Amino acid sequence: MPARSLDQIRRLAKNRGFIFAGSAPYGGLGSFWDYGPLGVEMLNHVKRSWWQNVVYNRDDVEGVDCAILMNRKVWQHSGHEATFSDPLVDCKSCRARFRADHLVTDAILARETEGENVHRKLRPIIELFPVSLKAAGLQLYAKLRDDEQDAEREANRRLREFQDKVSNGEKTSLDEFFGSLANIPGMPNVSQYAQLFFFVRRHPNELRSALLKLGKVSCPKCQKADWTDARNFNLMFQSHVGPVEANKGTEEELASRVYLRPETAQGIFMNFKNVLESSRRKVPFGIAQIGKAFRNEITPGNFTFRTREFEQMELEFFIKPPQFLQPGEKTDEQWHEEWVEQRYNWWLGLGIDKSRIRKRAQTREELAHYSKATVDLEYLFPGSLGFGEIEGIANRTDYDLSAHSKDVPEDALKRLKLEKNADSVENLDYFDQDAKARYFPWVIEPSCGATRAMLAFLCEAYNEELVKPPAEADIAALKTEIDAAIKNAEKKKKEAEKEKDAAQRKHDPVAIEAFIRDLTEATTRLPQSLAEIDGMLKDHAGAQNLELVKKLSPKVSKLAEDHTRLVLKLHPSLAPVKLAIFPLKKNEPRIVDEARRIKHQFQHLFRTVYDDSAGIGKLYRRQDEIGTPLCITVDFQTLEDNTVTLRDRDTMQQIRVPMEKLKHEVFHRLGMPV
Ligand code: GAP
């Protein structure tokens, strides 16, 4: 079973040194994370494995590592300065700030989930994607789009009428608008909220502001419905090159302004000609880059899923435009498909189960301004996050190289909706010897987040296993104590609710409610959930300062320690530590020397650790928790017959291996060439 919640991963990541909240001694900084001793190892392995898949295993890809800061004109001509933004609104009452699109769609979906009017057409879709209602909305949306073109046109006309009325302050309501849709021939019979979702996706700005103005969406913090107008907020972090103190927007300020790159792709486009010429490549060929990217996300969260600083692994693969293809050469669509398959298989090869990864073609409305088609690879993250994008494979056509070039034919500019670039001094084009023609190559772009990939691999690998079931009487006694702790928590929740001044409350009633809900559910899965309950009692936000929980926690810990194990079943190539060596007796010099000698034999090849700080059972547990595939124990028998115990993380099987065969056996089990 993979992780059931991101909290399990967050807890493990902190306790074992994978990922820490950044700037902790100063209370942190919104959604910036530091990678600890094991985190840096694992992240490096994720990146190395990607590089292996995309660069080394192919004959047609080169790598680069570009500067993070680039000339501001790069971002002007890529379209980011004008369009890389999210719509923001502020609650006038409590001043909280939200993304307008999330606010509106979440409000719609919340009503759907509450059971208002969920139509039979939507139900099967929701059931298919129980954890991601957003995906359900998108599916419905795609269905509506394809089937109901005429109805949609008429509905759009009525939407414009409705919007005009709202803007002019005329009397109208959402009910009136949806009522007017019901008699359109061919309009699918779906719930109002499903229709609403459809229109929000199709006409985001118009409907969003109408909904907010009509007071249909209340503030998640203070429940009032009094909003500012939505305005666009650019997601790029700004800085300046040189000692500039000019006011924002002045010529001097603009001349020195730079952005922290929001994607690594543009650095690759800037170097298209450099790489082409220095490496004597011919189209088709690709350029890969791994590096930091920064986005001032309005709603970061879900641990490291959406952060403001992250790492990307991107490939720009340059291909022939359709009009220059020779018979038998691959089309852009075929290249796109090939890359989707290659990348999908990379995820499967590293242990992601087929049931938790899917390919999803973006709908036309979702596509970025440069994309002809994009297929997202989505992973089923635990909890409310559900299916989330881990990689996008886009067909960017000739948009990028044309956008950064000085002499692009008029018809191409028109087709790509580009202005003539008067800033560029180059043409990022290519002379094709075979076709005897000059053109701007098209681009297929697989773009993957390294930090988000690591989160997906951690979720997939996380396993809490019952090694030997506890006695039934122990479980029954535990359930009785949990019942008592829940009753006590309910009492504390009520007391906290009675206290009107939030600052005076000893407990947070919302957090306690979540704790009661989670604990009640986990208790139904005992004894399998023993380790999960152990973690919950220690770390759940709603479990803090509850007396009975404090009393119960050590007992559960003891039971969990005796009967369960937490194991990260990471693919060996991703495991931060590959091999751990233990001496059975730490005060027996001959055993210790031998164990240290074995460590030296392997440590220059990969991360190998020596540990003698606990009993063997505990040492195995510690390595299981961080995903170490193999452990070696040196004991008295080693001194007699020169064999060691080799223990496998997943099966817990132990075999005796003669010293002369040890390297071969370890390499073989780690999947390394022997
Ligand atoms: N060059 C195309 C591009 O940047 P994207 O879909 O915006 O496309 C690609 O980003 C990948 O980068 C995503 O699939 C995701 O894995 C990762 N990513 C994007 N924003 C992120 C964020 N705020 N935090 C962590 N990873 C992110």
HEC string of 167-220? HCCCCCCHHHHHHHHHCCCCCCCCCHHHHHHHHHHHCHHHHHHHHHHCCCCCCC
Nearest protein CA to atom 2 of ligand 1, as residue? 447
Give whole-number Cα distances, 59 to 30, 91, 159, 287, 348, in Å: 42, 55, 53, 12, 22
Q: Which residues line ligand 1 (CB under 6 A)?
A: 263, 265, 295, 297, 306-307, 310, 312, 314, 389-392, 447-449, 451-452
303 CA from centroid of ligand 1 (Å): 15
292 CA from centroid of ligand 1 (Å): 11
119 CA from centroid of ligand 1 (Å): 34
Residue 297 alpha carbon, nearest atom of ligand 1: 23
Q: Where are the domains of the chain?
A: 53-68+261-461, 85-234, 467-568, 579-670
Rg (CA), the chain: 29
Residue 262 alpha carbon, nearest atom of ligand 1: 4
Nearest-angstrom CA–CA distance, 122 and 107: 17
Residue of 66, 75, 389 best suited for mutating to test ligand 1, as the one with most atoms within 8 Å of CB:
389
CATH superfamily for 53-68+261-461 is Bira Bifunctional Protein; Domain 2 (3.30.930.10)
Q: Are 581 and 599 in contact (CB under 8 A)?
A: yes
DSSP 115-159: TTT--TTTHHHHHHSTT-HHHHHHHHHHHHHHH-HHHHHHHHHHH
376 CA from centroid of ligand 1 (Å): 11
312 CA from centroid of ligand 1 (Å): 7
Query: Which amino acid would we find at residue 354?
Result: K
Nearest protein CA to atom 19 of ligand 1, as residue? 449
Quick one: which H or E segment has residue 591?
helix 589-603
pLDDT in tens, 263-287: 999 999 999 999 999 999 999 999 9
Angle among Cα 648, 567, 302 to the nearest 5 degrees reads: 145
pLDDT for residue 472: 93
Quick one: which H or E segment has residue 563?
helix 547-563
Fold classified for 579-670: Rossmann fold (3.40.50)
Q: Are 543 and 486 in contact (CB under 8 A)?
A: no
Nearest-angstrom CA–CA distance, 43 and 46: 5
Nearest protein CA to atom 16 of ligand 1, as residue? 449
pLDDT for residue 118: 36
Distance of CA 279 to the CA centre of its chain: 34
pLDDT for residue 384: 76
pLDDT for residue 486: 95
Q: Are 387 and 378 in contact (CB under 8 A)?
A: yes
Q: Is the dihedral of CA 304, 578, 63, 238 positive or negative?
A: positive
387 CA from centroid of ligand 1 (Å): 15
Q: Are 93 and 316 in contact (CB under 8 A)?
A: no
166 CA from centroid of ligand 1 (Å): 36
pLDDT for residue 352: 98
Strands (DSSP E) along 320-441, which ranges?
357-361, 373-381, 386-397, 430-432, 437-439
pTM for the predicted model, two decimal places: 0.82
pLDDT in tens, 479-514: 999 999 999 999 999 988 888 777 778 888 888 998
Q: Looking at residue 318, what DSSP letter applies? A: E
Nearest protein CA to atom 8 of ligand 1, as residue? 447
HEC readout, 220-288: CCCCCCCECCCEEEECCCEEECCCCCCCCCCHHHHHHEEEECCCCHHHHHHCHHHHHHHCCCCCCEEEE
Nearest-angstrom CA–CA distance, 458 and 2: 9
Nearest-angstrom CA–CA distance, 37 and 39: 6
Q: Are 319 and 441 in contact (CB under 8 A)?
A: yes
482 CA from centroid of ligand 1 (Å): 42
Quick one: which H or E segment has residue 562?
helix 547-563
pLDDT for residue 577: 98
Nearest-angstrom CA–CA distance, 113 and 191: 12
DSSP-H helix ranges across 18-99 = 37-51, 72-78, 80-83
For residue 55, count other CB atoms closer than 10 A to its CB. Answer: 17
Q: Please list the ranges in the chain whose pLDDT falls under 70.
A: 1, 104-153, 155-156, 163, 166-167, 174-175, 178, 182, 186-216, 365
Q: Are 536 and 511 in contact (CB under 8 A)?
A: no
Residue 447 alpha carbon, nearest atom of ligand 1: 9
Q: Is the dihedral of CA 400, 392, 349, 565 positive or negative?
A: positive
Query: Which amino acid would we find at residue 396?
Result: R
- The dihedral over CA atoms of 523, 524, 526, 528, expressed in degrees to the nearest 10, equals -110
pLDDT for residue 170: 80
SS3 at position 22: coil
Nearest-angstrom CA–CA distance, 495 and 509: 9
Nearest-angstrom CA–CA distance, 106 and 88: 15
295 CA from centroid of ligand 1 (Å): 9
pLDDT for residue 99: 81
Nearest-angstrom CA–CA distance, 11 and 538: 10
Nearest protein CA to atom 15 of ligand 1, as residue? 449
86 CA from centroid of ligand 1 (Å): 15
Residue 449 alpha carbon, nearest atom of ligand 1: 16
Six-digit token string for 274: 């450099």
pLDDT for residue 137: 43
pLDDT in tens, 336-356: 999 999 999 999 999 999 999
Residue of 312, 444, 459 best suited for mutating to test ligand 1, as the one with most atoms within 8 Å of CB:
312
